[in-house]
Amino acid sequence: MRATNRKFRPNLQKVTVLENGRPVRKTLCAKCIRTLVKTA
């Protein structure tokens, strides 16, 4: 048994993403950034 319950929080980071040819600043989780890099 743990004394306190652990909270799982998303690893959010501010990223500049190209959307329709223009840079857009978004707050994305690290996993989302990874998938963006893999597809691009």
User: How far apart are alpha carbons 6 and 33 in whole angstroms?
Assistant: 24
Rounded to two decimals, the pTM is 0.67
Amino acid identity of residue 14, one-letter, is K
DSSP one-letter code for 22: E
Contact 20, 31 (CB under 8 A): no
- Where helices occur in 1-40 by DSSP H, the ranges are 30-39
The pLDDT score that the predictor gives to residue 39 is 85
pLDDT of the chain, 40 residues: tens digit per residue: 778 988 999 999 999 999 999 999 999 999 999 999 898 6
